[in-house]
């Protein structure tokens, strides 16, 4: 049975041909891991791989990292350099010359490749054309295979159980940072790989009206909304979930927006199916919120792709004509964010699920309750399983 790595490299070869590219240059990150299984840190020593159609990859790397290349399931030609900085540009020139790339079209990923690596590439191949190639990474990774989806399913399971374990210890009066610290610990205890998709967002009271709030020393108090956005990592594949809780009685207006967001989330999931433009999913969720009179308070897109990155293609945004296909994984996360006005209590509600497009429609990998649950010592909770999920 062929290695998944080899299959991905073969798929990339055709994508490069289709996009009229002679090579793709990658530095450390999710694309390089996807194509090689190799993890390198971004640091002051550059690491760059060249992938060419129907040819073995070329890898420029620090000499001290060569041990990672033992027993690779594919052919690769390394170009190591030493701690002597004079050897660094030499390694780039050797790789460029070996690959015949001096005057070729080389794709780069702008939101990943640093100026550091780009300058070495430009010096080694001054006649080459370096062109943005985001569509290459999207075509390579946007449609997940069954194994990738299973990793994401496990990451969702771990994240949900970690949150339930955190809620079981919740007490009014702890700080946002204390909640985030406990949630991080529970993610690791329940089986998440240590590199989390992102640091958990824990936002209470008026802070919950900020979609990307950072946990602070604010005390979580009676009457607060508590928004929690978190995820787990299984074999390099992520989950990303948001739920909003009521700390005691939050009042009628905030309960109302929670119900509207729940309805918008359901509308987005119902609209997501193969053959549908991503923009129509955004519109389905947005229409619910706009008709309820809160359109101006839904201030972000409905969702984003999810996989090896917390944000990747496809983006579920207004006007997007990206056609959804079987195997695409993304979030559906409508929200309403109300700033505090005078004595009127502010706060935000977001409900975020991870979904995959199937031949039958849209399957949610997340199944935590979507209604706004009370989060205090009287909160009823599901039984929490501390046993690792299947396959972990």
Q: What is the pLDDT of residue 342?
A: 52
Q: What is the mean pLDDT of the chain?
A: 94
Whether the upstream peptide bond of residue 314 has omega within 30° of 0, thus cis, is yes
Q: What is the pLDDT of residue 378?
A: 43
Q: 51: which strand partners? A: 24
Q: What is the pLDDT of residue 383?
A: 47
The CA distance from 286 to 354, in Å, is 18
Q: What is the pLDDT of residue 344?
A: 53
Secondary structure (3-state) at 101: coil
Give the pLDDT band (50/70/90) at residue 98.
Answer: very high
Does pLDDT of 209 surpass 50? yes
In the chain, where the domains are located: 4-141, 146-364
* Closest by Cα among 144, 145, 142, 140 to 19: 140
Q: What is the pLDDT of residue 340?
A: 74
The answer as to CATH 1.20.58.220 being correct for domain 4-141 is: no
pLDDT digits (tens, 9 = 90+) for 236-247: 999 999 999 999
Give the pLDDT band (50/70/90) at residue 375.
Answer: confident
The CA distance from 58 to 91, in Å, is 11
Q: What is the pLDDT of residue 277?
A: 98
Residue 176 dihedral angles phi and psi, to the nearest 5°: -60, -45
Does pLDDT of 385 surpass 90? no
Q: Which two tokens stand for residue 36?
A: 């090689």
pLDDT digits (tens, 9 = 90+) for 119-139: 999 999 999 999 999 999 999
Give the pLDDT band (50/70/90) at residue 376.
Answer: confident
- For a pLDDT cut of 70, what percent of the chain falls above it? 94
Q: DSSP letters of 223-271?
A: T-EEEEEE--EETTEE--EEEEEESS---HHHHHHHHHHHHHHHHHHHH
pLDDT digits (tens, 9 = 90+) for 16-63: 999 999 999 999 999 999 999 999 999 999 999 999 999 999 999 999
Mean pLDDT of 195-208: 97
Mean pLDDT of 194-200: 97
The CA distance from 302 to 324, in Å, is 14
CATH architecture, range 146-364:
Alpha-Beta Complex (3.90)
Q: What is the pLDDT of residue 2?
A: 65
Secondary structure (3-state) at 209: helix
* Closest by Cα among 276, 273, 274, 257 to 372: 257
Q: What is the pLDDT of residue 1?
A: 55
The CA distance from 33 to 369, in Å, is 34
Does pLDDT of 312 surpass 80? yes
pLDDT digits (tens, 9 = 90+) for 254-298: 999 999 999 999 999 999 999 999 999 999 999 999 999 999 999
Q: What is the pLDDT of residue 3?
A: 83
Q: Measured between alpha carbons, how far is residue 373 from residues 156, 160, 204, 211, 346 in Å?
A: 19, 14, 14, 19, 18
Does pLDDT of 85 surpass 50? yes
- For a pLDDT cut of 90, what percent of the chain falls above it? 92
């Amino acid at each position: 049975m062929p290695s998944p790595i080899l299959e991905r490299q073969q798929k990339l070869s055709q994508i490069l041909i289709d996009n009229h590219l002679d090579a793709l240059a990658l530095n450390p990150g999710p694309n390089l891991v996807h194509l090689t299984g190799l993890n390198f840190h971004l640091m002051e020593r550059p690491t760059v791989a060249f992938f060419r159609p129907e040819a073995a990859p070329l890898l420029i790397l620090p000499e001290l990292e060569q041990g990672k290349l033992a027993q690779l399931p594919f052919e690769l030609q390394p170009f190591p350099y030493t701690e002597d900085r004079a050897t660094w540009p030499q390694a780039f020139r050797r790789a460029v010359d070996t690959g015949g790339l001096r005057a070729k079209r080389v794709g780069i990923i702008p939101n990943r490749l640093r100026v550091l690596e780009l300058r070495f590439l430009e010096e080694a191949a001054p006649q080459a054309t370096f062109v943005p190639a985001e569509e290459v990474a999207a075509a390579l990774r946007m449609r997940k295979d069954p194994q990738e989806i299973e990793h994401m399913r496990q990451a969702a399971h771990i994240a949900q159980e970690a949150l339930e374990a955190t809620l079981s210890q919740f007490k009014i009066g702890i700080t946002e940072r204390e909640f985030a610290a406990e949630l991080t610990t529970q993610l690791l205890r329940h089986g998440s790989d240590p590199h989390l998709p992102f640091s958990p967002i824990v936002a209470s009271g008026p802070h919950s009206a900020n979609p990307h709030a950072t946990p602070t020393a604010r005390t979580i108090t009676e009457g607060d909304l508590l928004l929690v956005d978190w995820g787990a990592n299984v074999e390099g594949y992520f989950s990303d979930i948001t739920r909003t809780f009521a700390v005691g009685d939050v009042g009628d207006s905030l309960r109302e927006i929670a119900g509207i967001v729940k309805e918008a989330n359901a509308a987005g999931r119902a609209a997501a199916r193969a053959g549908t433009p991503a923009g129509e999913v955004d519109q389905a969720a947005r229409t619910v919120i706009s008709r309820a009179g809160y359109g101006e308070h839904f201030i972000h897109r409905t969702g984003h792709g999810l996989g090896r990155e917390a944000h990747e293609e496809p983006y579920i945004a207004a006007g997007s004509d990206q056609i959804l296909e079987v195997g695409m994984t993304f979030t559906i996360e409508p929200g309403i964010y109300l700033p505090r006005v005078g004595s009127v209590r502010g706060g935000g509600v977001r409900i975020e699920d991870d979904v995959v497009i199937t031949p039958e429609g849209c399957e949610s990998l997340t199944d935590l309750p979507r209604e706004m649950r009370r989060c205090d010592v009287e909160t009823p909770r599901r039984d929490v399983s501390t046993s690792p999920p299947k396959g972990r």
